[in-house]
Every structure is written in structure tokens, then in C-alpha cells.
Structure 1
């Protein structure tokens, strides 16, 4: 489980507690649950029976409150779908194919209570998750410069952005890689974790390059105006973006030098 954005040491400590407790519990969970495999884009409320404790065995899920992504569940996380979803209007969506194991609540709680170590781990997990949920909920009602991010999936060969198109979003490559083309010539690559589209957002200019998925990939899209506000509010984020832009520019310069060398007449 992790929260989007930068957080205080206290919040990071809660995340560590929750993740460690969940991992310790899932290592000893009995294989007697109901298994579900869902495709990317699936909404859990449309597939999972009510009154279940859910273990995410593979993949990632976004948890949204009031339409805003509050945190992301990773493999090994445990959550009570009916309790959290019904009480707090939390919705869960698969951002990629996911595998789930579901347990009836009463047998699950009986299994936890039968062992003091399991009971302590479950208490640690619930305490941390409740505190983190409160943190995520507080963020949804604060007037802060935080981007409303959305995830988009592309197939290999799909065009993510086109050169000279108007700027609407800035993207982060969450999974996969993409080719960078200027005037049809490949000049670089976008890799995992890198931001692209930032130059046009900062300069308020059309797209400077075409980005084509080299493989199946997932990107996070942030509206351009929110991205600019984020840079103004968080200088450390601005530095990370500039480092990524510098690498892309270096790739472009290297490609240009190689092209010029190749085109030099042989004596």
C-alpha cells in the first residue's frame, strides 16, 4: 500500500507498519479463500461478493474517495471491501490484471483471534490503515495543489502524444517504455518513472515530440495546469522533473552528434 505524493516521516512510518503487518499475515494465510482474477479496468464492487476480507495477490488497485485516488493497493495488501467501501464511499479499480483471494469475515476473524501473534499483527494493521485512511480523507477536503491523476494504458506501437499537438496533460511512465521522435526521427526513450510532456507545459507551447509506446505500458496523466501548480508548490518535484528533462536533452544531443558524424563525407 502506498499513498500518492510526498508525506511526513509519521505517515511513512504508518505505511511501513501496515505493509509489514500485511506481509506477515499473508505469508501464513490458509489457501481456503475464494479466488478471483479480474482484468484491467474492473471495478471491484461489480465482481466481489459483499462481506469479504480481500487479499490482493498480484497487480495493483487504486482506491478512490469521492472520485479522487487516495492510495494504491499492492500485492500483499489486505482490505475489507464491504466495511470500507460501504461506510466511506471508497471505490476500487484494477489498474492492471489482478488476482484476489477473498475470505468470509467471520472465519477470517476467528482465524486471526486463534493466535496471539496473528491478533497483534491484525491490530497493528488495522490501526495503521485507519490512520492512513484518515490522512487520505483529509487530503480530499483540503484545498491543496495536488494533481488529479488518471491512469491510461497503451499497447506497443500506440501513439501517446503527437508532435505539435496542444498541451493538455503531463505524463509519468508508470510501467513500460516509449520512443521519442522529432520530425519522424527517433531521438530518445522514455523509461519507467520518467515524466514527459513537461517542456510544453512549462513553455506553454505545442508538443515538441511524438511519443510512441515501445511496449505495452501504463502512464499517469496529470492536467497541465495542475502540473504547473505542483511544480510551484513542491520544488523537490521540480528538480526531479528537470533531471528527467536533462537526460532526454542529452539523448537528443547524442543522437544529433551521431547523425552528423554519419553524414560527414569520407576522405
Structure 2
């Protein structure tokens, strides 16, 4: 698989010139991970965003009152997780685990900072995606509170 072509086919990056995609690719670490590999631990402060190139990743949350794990989503090729870790050293809201072999491209917080200089439009897109994720998380939490306060 050619990484530039893969990224160019993702809606988040389809409109970017090669110069910006090349800058992003320079900051990505591509890795093959085995089944059961844990990318992010709930509560951890791992500091990387991941793009799934091949495979499936489960997003699992632990419900604190009764310590029950439940799968929130199953992510597939082209989906991104760990966005919020680029912004701050805040604890992860979920655990992310490989379901079968997975090939990912990881962007560290340091790589994200470097992109601000080399590819500002890519960083602006990632910031927009972070804002959307924060809004989605807020809506989820509001719904959770409504259910449990009624």
C-alpha cells in the first residue's frame, strides 16, 4: 500500500497538495501490530494519534461505578483515533485494542507540533477534527447524565 495514495483517499486529507501530505507522512510512524495490541490505555497519557491503514481496532470503555468494560465502537481502515492526545496531556477516555493484525500510522504530539511549521493546513484540519471529537464527547456525556439523573 502506498501511504500517500491512501491518505489522499481519506476525506480529511483529499484536498491537500503533495507538499503537505509529504510533510505529514514524514511525521508518521507506520507499524504492524498483532492481535490484542493495546494502542491506548484508558486513563493513560500516551500522546499519539493513530490512522488505521489495515485492520480493526476496538474502542473499549470501563464503566467506573461497576467496573464493567464495554465496546463503544469498532474502527476500520481509514478511521482515526487518539486525536485528543495531540492537544494536551489529558487522560485517555477509552482503551484502544487491535482486533486481529493491524497496520497503523502514528503521529506523536511532537510530530503534530512539527507539522505546525511544515504543513499548517494539515494541522488546521486536525484541529477541526479535534473540535468535532470534543463536541461529540460532550454530547455523549450530556446524554449519559440525562439518563442517570432521571
Q: Given the alignment of the two structures, is residue 237 of structure 1 paired with residue 122 of structure 2, yes or no?
A: yes
Contact 2:40 2:46 in 1 (8 A): no
Q: Is the 8 A contact 2:47 2:85 kept in 1?
A: no
Equivalent positions of 1:21-40 (< 5 A) are none
1:2 aligns with 2:5: no
Q: C-alpha displacement at 1:195, in angstroms?
A: 3.4
Question: 1:153: which partner in 2?
Answer: 33
CA distance in 1, matches of 2:49, 2:117: 15
Say which of 96, 103, 110 aligns to 1:212: 96
SS in 1 for 2:87: helix
Match of 2:133 in 1: 248
C-alpha displacement of 1:3? 5.2
Q: CA deviation at 1:229?
A: 0.6
Q: Match for residue 178 of structure 1?
A: 58
Tell me, yes or no, if the aligned pair for 2:61 and 2:72 is still in contact at 8 Å.
Answer: yes
Count of paired positions: 129
Which structure: larger Rg? 1
How far 1:168 moved relative to its partner? Answer: 4.8
Greater RCO between the two (CA within 8 Å, min separation 6)? 2
Any idea what SS the aligned residue of 2:33 has? strand
CA distance in 2, matches of 1:7, 1:153: 28
TM-score (norm 2): 0.59
Question: Taking structure 1 as the reference length, what is the TM-score of the superposition?
Answer: 0.38
How far apart are the structure 1 equivalents of 2:40 and 2:110?
Answer: 17
Which consecutive residues of structure 2, in runs of 5 or more, have no partner in the other structure?
Answer: 8-16
Note the alpha carbon deviations across 1:150-201, whole angstroms, 9 max, x for none: 223242x543211343435332222324315376576954554243334233
**Relative to structure 1, is the Cα distance of residues 236 and 180 closer, same or farther in structure 2, using a 3 angstrom cutoff?**
farther
CA distance in 1, matches of 2:77, 2:87: 22
Distance 1:253 1:147, change over 3 A: same
Determine helix, strand or coil for the equivalent of 1:160: strand
In structure 2, the CA distance between the partners of 1:195 and 1:225, relative to structure 1 (3 Å rule), is same
Distance 1:182 1:241 in 2: 27
CA RMSD between the two structures: 3.5
Report if the CA contact (8 A) 1:166-1:207 is conserved: yes
